Amino acid sequence: MSVALREPLAVSLRRGVPLVWAHGDGRERRALLGWGERFRASARGPERFRTLNFAFRDFAAGCEPGQVPLAFVAAAFSADSAAESVLVVPDVVGRWHRGRLDLPPGSTVPEPTEPSEFEELDFAAGTLTREQYRRAVARAVELIAAGEVEKIVLARDLIATGTHPIDLSAVLARLQAANPESWTFHIDGTFGSSPELLAAVHGDTVYSRVLAGSAPVTGRPEVDTNAARALMASGKDHMEHAYAARSVSARLAAVADVTIGRPEILRLPTIMHLSTEVTGSLTEPLSALEVAALIHPSAAVCGTPTERAAQLIAELEGLDRGRYAGPVGWVDGEGNGQFALALRSGQLAPDACSVRLFAGGGIVAGSVPSDELAETAQKFLPMYQALSPVAQP
């Protein structure tokens, strides 16, 4: 018999800062939580996905019959990143649903700690200042007009620093509560709450939710309704979105029979996006990690055409994204799993006293530098609010 604990997710998250994969809306919120480390693999470079996949396959092959191991994965965005891509199989995997944490028979997890008082953090520009980001966007627009590329996704970073270790468990609880339609995650210090699901695989079924094109959400119904209508009518945003949706569907079409939905509005607490669902049936046996590797990097986080956009990103951003905008999620020994893009995210420093935050936007013909800067500020909000000492509703 499994061990069942009746407790809110916020309490489960305070049990030793587990690995986290949480999603849901309303009463259907669900989470996978992992404690300890039974197996770890790491990789860098262009073969990072292949290396992690083979390492996990070898590990799974050595498990006892009937056991289906589950691994949490966080991968670097770029093949030339200095950041490690990691795959971690925890000692204990708990499944939380509707106020109940189910644990394997005979397993134990840490006792919950009390949440720490939130400290006001100092925020400073990272690699690019605001003005440097505007100039990078302006240069990207020039390159697009010259025909070198159709879309470039440009990001900037902020460094948030305090004097005491950040209470990551409390931050994760805030992120999940405030962003129930996003996927809240924590793997090896990479954490956030992403609204974009890169790939989900269950058996031979594959699913992706593509986001591109956005507008702010103010909380004022009339203003937000008008903004949604303007977003649906925006040629610039639909162009940006079409690049992203096509990049995902075209790559999936090589391994699956796919169906592409129509763009719709996905409204989140601080921002709304054009959203397209891509569904299909795999025509060959691939794991969720393999499908994520096939799709990445999509035009939603890189650009079009991919290779040239990636080159220009490196030149214009001048930063190592690390795991930002890379695939993050879980895969099990049968190939099932879910991977989001590590957006609305940050990387916790080794001393836990600071975190590097990232946000970006898609640049296409007609993009305005000041508007793109404002969009990144909007995308920083979920993490900023989760880290803030201001009391949450």
Catalytically active residues, by annotation: 151, 196
Q: Rounded distance, CA 382 to CA 373, Å? A: 16
Q: Which of 183, 178, 168, 99 is nearest to 391 (CA)?
A: 178
Contacts 24+ apart (CB under 8 A), 250-255: 251/294, 251/295, 251/298, 252/206, 252/208, 252/278, 252/280, 252/291, 252/294, 252/295, 253/280, 254/294, 255/282, 255/283, 255/284, 255/286, 255/291, 255/294
What does residue 203 show for φ and ψ, rounded to 5 degrees? 65, -120
- Nearest-5° Cα angle at 81, 374 to 346: 45
How far is residue 28's CA from residue 10's CA, in Å, rounded to a whole number?
A: 15
Give the pair of three-digit tokens for residue 23.
């999603």
Q: Give Cβ neighbours of residue 278 (< 8 Å, ≥ 6 apart).
A: 207, 208, 209, 210, 245, 248, 249, 252, 258, 259, 260, 261
Under 8 Å between Cβ of 69 and 58: no
